[in-house]
Amino acid sequence: MNAGARAATGDILLFLHADTRLPPEAAEKIRRAVRRGAIGGCFETVFDSRHPLLRLGDLWRNLRARWMSKFFGDQSIFVRRDVFERLGGYRLLDRMEDYDLCLRMRRAGPLAFIPSRAITSPRRFQDDGVVRTWAFNQMCKVRFFLRSRSYLRQDNHFANSHFTKGVSRVRL
């Protein structure tokens, strides 16, 4: 993602999962949020599924993003380039790098929740089972908050990137 950010030419970066579709007016809504003072944010997101547990997940995910400004990559994260660079970009984590960026963005300035629906694929939940995938995601959150070293990359192949110059491991 840091490589994509380096290659991008705009003043606002959008990190969009390949299986997520933005609403047609997304670009203008992002620009409007930034003009109003947001340093970044996310979209309301729903799974492309009628499964009742996924619908419940949609409700919780969007309430958490709207009221607590806590969101994940499937919610189409956008951020001003200058803020992204000041924050050092994405940290080199195996999991939860999107949430880690969100938490750092929260400390950097106001975030916007755009109530236009992005639609994302439920593929992972369908392939592995809704409850099993949800449980795995919760364990990832717990391990992230406990600062488990298993989330740190052991290799150094990004260490010389523009956003992580000289960093071989990230200590949380």
Give the domain CATH number at 125. Answer: 3.90.550.10
pLDDT in tens, 43-66: 999 999 999 999 999 999 899 989
Lookup: tokens for 130? 């809704």
Asked if residue 164 belongs to a domain, the reply is no
List pLDDT tens digits, range 2-20: 999 999 999 999 999 899 9
Q: Is residue 16 part of a domain?
A: yes
Count CA atoms closer than 13 A to 52's CA, side-chain side.
Answer: 0
Q: Running DSSP on this structure, what letter comes out for residue 44?
A: E
How far is residue 172 from each of residues 77, 101, 109, 153, 169, measured CA to CA in Å?
A: 21, 12, 21, 12, 10
Number of structural domains found in the chain = 1
Q: Which tops the pLDDT comparison, 28 or 72?
A: 28
Q: Is residue 169 domain-resident?
A: no
Decide if 38 is inside a domain. yes
pLDDT at 136: 87
CA distance 37 to 34: 5
pLDDT of residue 163: 39
In a domain, 110, yes or no: yes
Cβ-based neighbour number of residue 115 at 10 Å: 12
Domain that holds residue 123: 2-151
Q: What is the pLDDT of residue 134?
A: 85
Tell me whether residue 8 is in a domain: yes
Q: Which two tokens stand for residue 166?
A: 């000289």
| Mean pLDDT computed over 20-38 | 96
> 159 in a domain, yes or no?
no
| pLDDT of amino acid 153 | 45
pLDDT in tens, 80-113: 999 999 999 999 887 889 999 999 999 999 999 9
What is each CA distance from 50 to 31, 46, 70, 133, in whole angstroms?
A: 31, 10, 24, 17
Residue 170 forms part of a structural domain: no
pLDDT at position 82: 97
Residues 6+ apart with CB under 8 A from 170: 91, 92, 93, 152, 153
